[in-house]
Each structure stands twice: as structure tokens, then as C-alpha cells.
Chains A and B, each alone.
Chain A
């Protein structure tokens, strides 16, 4: 199947700093990518839909100024958590569609101290 790769897998940062997470489609082009957040022992919650060449679409309750999404190319979407706080600590997972199937990245574990 298609491969979606995230980087970094783990990141620890100080409160107030910004963190960028990359999501790449390695062997296919993705005009649309999805960003999910998963708290411990919880389900995946859709945060936003990333669209190549246009603005992302955010789900209700997700602050667009805090979670900046840039879909700069057909193989890369980035999620920047700005001014991160401990409550932003979570597992962030991206996904993209290839041949009608949704493939997920490995996830990025963010810990904000």
C-alpha cells in the first residue's frame, strides 16, 4: 500500500515554543491530507483538512491560529503548533488518500513541558 510518513516521531518542547510536524506521502501525490489528534486512551479526532494550494479547513473548536497548516506541495503537509502548552501534548496523526483508501502516518508524539 501507499506510504505516509511523519517527522518527527517524538518531540519534546518547552511551553511557549512552536513545533512543526511534517507529513509526507512517499510514493503518491496527495491533494488532500487530514490531521488528527489522539489523547491517551482516546479516539482519533479530526482537527483539520489540509488542501494543497489553498487554506486548510478546520473542525469546530480547533484554533486555526494555534494549529497552522501548510500544504506546500502534493507530497507535503506541515502542522505547526504555535506557542505550545502542556495541554497540547498529544499524538498527532496525518492521513492521505491513495487509490480510494485512507493511509495513516506513524504519528508524532508531542510532549510540552
Chain B
């Protein structure tokens, strides 16, 4: 599958700080998604982006789909301890496989009280 480059690999911040992470790809995707995974659990969808340039918010989370459809960023404002987890970006191409996703390597977020 296509490679997604996600950065940073990890972040260690204090409660209340804002966080930003991003993903880039050499390929174009139809849809870009951001997931959060808690230890020992499956990923949970945070935000889905469908249109180039789309900016979408979900509570304290904001994500944008790049104009070229090759990149996206996720911002978390005023972080809280429960934001701890691994955040994955995922690109989706509509193909015979339907909804199969290509995942980035994840950004591990640690928030200290």
C-alpha cells in the first residue's frame, strides 16, 4: 500500500497545551481519516475528511485535508490527560477493496497534569 509519513513520532506535553500533528503522502487519497487508539484497543475514528481543503472540527479537535489531497494535519487544543494515546492518520482509496485504509505510523501523545 501507499506510504503515509506521520510526524512527530511522539509528543510529551503539559495539560492545557495545544498539539499539532501531520501526515503526508506521495499519493493522492479520496478520503483522509484520523483515529485514536488506546492501549490494547482498536482504533476509534475522530475525524473524517472528504474534500480537498476541507477543515473540520470535532470538539477540541480540528483537522484539515490538504488541497493536493496528499496531506493532512490534526490539532488538539487545550489538551487534557485523557487525550493520551496513539493518533493515526489513514488514507483511503476507493478501489475493489472498498474501504481498506493505509495507516501512518502513529503519533504517541503523553499529557502530564
Contacts from A to B (Cβ < 8 Å):
4, 6, 9, 32, 34, 41-46, 49, 57, 59, 91, 93, 95, 97, 101-107, 109
Contacts and interface: CB of A to CB of B under 8 A. Distances in A.
B101 A46 contact: yes
B42 A43 contact: no
A109 to B, nearest CB: 7
Contacts of A59: 1
Nearest to A60: B1
Contacts of A106: 40-42
A95 B37 CA distance: 14
Given A107-B40, A107-B42, A49 B101 contact: no
Nearest to B108: A41
B105 A43 contact: yes
B67 interface: no
A105 B88 CA distance: 16
A46 B100 CA distance: 8
Contacts of A6: 42
A57 B35 CA distance: 24
B48 A101 contact: yes
B78 interface: no
Given A43-B106, A44-B103, A104 B98 contact: no
B99 A104 contact: no
Contacts of B44: 104
Given A32-B98, A57-B97, A102-B101, A44 B43 contact: yes
7 contacts: A42-B105, A43-B104, A44-B43, A46-B102, A103-B45, A104-B44, A106-B40
Contacts of A44: 43, 88, 101, 103
A105 B104 CA distance: 19
